[in-house]
Amino acid sequence: MDSYLHRGQRRQLIDELRARGGYDEKVLAVMANVPRHAFLDSSFHGWAYKDEAFRIGCEQTISQPSTVAWQTTELELLPRQHVLEIGTGSGYQAAVLSLLGGRVFTVERHKPLYRKAKLTLKKLRLDRIRLYLRDGSKGLPELAPFDRILATAGAAAVPPALREQLKVGGIMVIPVGPDGEEQSMLKIRRVSETEWTEEELGGCRFVPLVVS
């Protein structure tokens, strides 16, 4: 599944990201070992290690590697922390979080993507990741609070449920802004039971977070 060619292309991609600077080396080391092509249809395998986003069905995309590295770096994930991912998509981001040592709980609302991601992660023996088929904007209240929350879809506003499910001292990274326009990546810290701080990290574009 992971050919010599793929490994070489992956090394080149990680070298390019490292040269740009600003990414956590632990994140890059994990991404250097995750076969991104395994999360894409075979027709995209030749392009898997370009720094580009690709369609994966259901009008969703797999984020470009630099975005994955950026979001994951800003998440500041520590081993054994419980992390909630909103938008499983292909499962690639969940794989990165898991290999960083996170206890990953990931939510996807599209059944075809949920099933495909589950199968891909099983093939890669990443079977500690727990997948859920439901509305991500509501989080997983029965398993909250979470040390970290990462959203891979853009919300018009931060869903209140996700704010409440973040542990005091925890971090959430989420793109926020109108659909079809540039969004802002927010880094939210919960500093007390009633207080959160927000930091704008920069502009981005994500598929919309669908709220039912």
Q: What is the per-residue DSSP string for 95-121?
A: HHHHHTT-EEEEEES-HHHHHHHHHHH
Block residue for tokens 């879809």: 153
Task: Tell me the CB-side half-sphere exposure of residue 37, using CA atoms within 13 A.
Answer: 20
**Is 63 a known active-site residue?**
yes
Helix orientation angle between 92-99 and 111-123, rounded to the nearest 10 degrees: 40
Whole-number Å distance between alpha carbons of 61 and 171: 24
Choose, from 43, 63, 90, 184, the residue flagged as catalytic.
63
Q: Which residues are marked as active site?
A: 63
